[in-house]
A and B are shown apart, each in its own frame.
Chain A
Amino acid sequence: MYNASKIIPGLLIFLGLVTFPFWSNLGRAAYEAPELVMPESEEECVESGEWMRANHMMLLDDWRDLAVRDNVRLYSNEMDKRFDMSLTKTCLSSQCHANKADFCDRCHDTMAIVPHCWDCHVVPSIGEE
């Protein structure tokens, strides 16, 4: 191989940089899903808990577009239970996830996700932040 003295160290440096996320996390605690405080009075979410965990952001995005742009505001789930398609009036209502800090924020903070929802939407139980 021509120029092996330059290429091989170069490749090693490249591999080192590419694998940075792996070796920099060696020895650190593995990710643990944070403990969430569930609503006391309400058992059932809009959809199954497992589905919501994976898809709540898509659901909220669909709700947002349907309500604002198509004036469609009533959601009936698989059990034919009806919901107002509203983050503040349904999801964050006093019967459900009224405490954003103990529910929404726990995962979002752990995953370093900053949703823009609360730039405008107010959490009814705690008012503005």
Chain B
Amino acid sequence: MALNRRTFLKAAGLTTLAGVAGHAAMEFLAPGELEAALSSQVGAFPEALTAQRWAMLIDTEKFTTMQMYQRCIDACHVLHNVPDIPGDQEIKWIWTDSFKHTFPDQQHGLLPERIKHQPFLLLCNHCDNPPCVRVCPTKATFQRDDGIVMMDMHRCIGCRYCMAGCPYGARSFNFWDPRPHINEIDPYYPTRMKGVVEKCTFCEDRLAKGQIPACVEVSEGALIFGDLENQDSEVRRVLRERYSLRRKPSLGTNPHVFYLI
């Protein structure tokens, strides 16, 4: 069959018209049928804790025993199925280190004995200007409106740029399937799989249900959590009264974990 250009263009035009008209007719006769829309709705839990800017204070004077640190660490790691892997492949959401390593810009030879020998509780700083978010190629890590730097494990491709970007060592990589290294798996929190990066999320899943972060809950007041934008919040009140340090502020990341000295 000889099909000249004129016939072809006519047929193509008619086909397009039929397609468009068919959809329009469907929309007119049975609206919404094509997309099969549901009238369901989504929202937040009414009891959810919300803030304009979440922040945490760590009262270093109240950490008097090693058990206090361990209680905070265990509460977090048990709840979030963080595996216990020794050595340089360890995975940690919250951990401790010396003053020298925590505040490398602040050390000198004449520090008080308490400061010199005391461990400091470390976790993700939920920076205002997070380098990890900036370097993530898949937006697997992102910053929420309330300041929490979140991980979307479904998107993480395990490139570890965020680990290179984070100046606080707050991120850990799963070199192996973590499940064999978890003592008792909490079924209501997912484990991770091989090849993703994980870190503290300020217990955003607990906040959504109206609970404060697990470490704060067991800290007996040594950790204070609240809204930094709210003038009347406890974090603002304590920051007005006590001197505080932040880790490596000169890097410009604007961390939101404050250490009360």
Contact = CB atoms under 8 A, between A and B. Distances in A.
A120 B40 CA distance: 28
Nearest to B193: A119
Interface string B26-63: 00000000001011111111001000000000000000
**Chain B contact surface mostly:** loop
Interface string A60-94: 00001010110111111110000001001100000
Contacts of A124: 187-188
A76 B188 CA distance: 21
B95 interface: no
A55 B154 CA distance: 20
Interface string B115-152: 00000000000000000000000000010100000101
A128 interface: yes
Interface of A: 47, 51, 55, 64, 66, 68-69, 71-78, 85, 88-89, 119-124, 127-128
B192 A120 contact: yes
Interface-centre pick from A55, A72, A75, A119 (highest chain B CB count, 10 A):
A119
Interface residues of B, number: 28
17 contacts: A47-B40, A51-B38, A68-B150, A69-B142, A71-B44, A71-B144, A71-B204, A74-B44, A76-B40, A76-B41, A77-B38, A78-B40, A89-B188, A120-B191, A121-B190, A123-B187, A128-B191
A122 B154 contact: no
A10 to B, nearest CB: 23
B179 A128 contact: yes
Given A51-B38, A66-B42, A71-B44, 17 more contacts: A47-B38, A47-B40, A64-B154, A68-B152, A69-B142, A69-B150, A71-B204, A72-B44, A73-B44, A74-B44, A74-B45, A75-B40, A76-B42, A85-B42, A89-B188, A121-B190, A123-B187
B44 A127 contact: no
B187 A73 contact: no
Contacts of A119: 193
Given A71-B208, A88-B188, A120 B153 contact: yes
Contacts of B218: none
B210 to A, nearest CB: 11
Contacts of B152: 68-69
A100 B209 CA distance: 26
Contacts of A120: 153, 190-193
A120 B193 CA distance: 6
Contacts, number: 67
B75 interface: no
Interface-centre pick from A72, A75, A120, A123 (highest chain B CB count, 10 A):
A120
B85 interface: no
Contacts of B208: 71, 73
Contacts of B142: 69
Nearest to B151: A68
A71 B49 CA distance: 11
Contact of B185 (A66, A75, A122): A122
A71 B63 CA distance: 33
Nearest to A55: B36
Interface in B217-257: none
Nearest to B152: A68
Nearest to A124: B187
Contact of B38 (A73, A78, A122, A128): A78
A68 B192 CA distance: 15
A78 to B, nearest CB: 5
Contacts of B43: 72, 74, 76
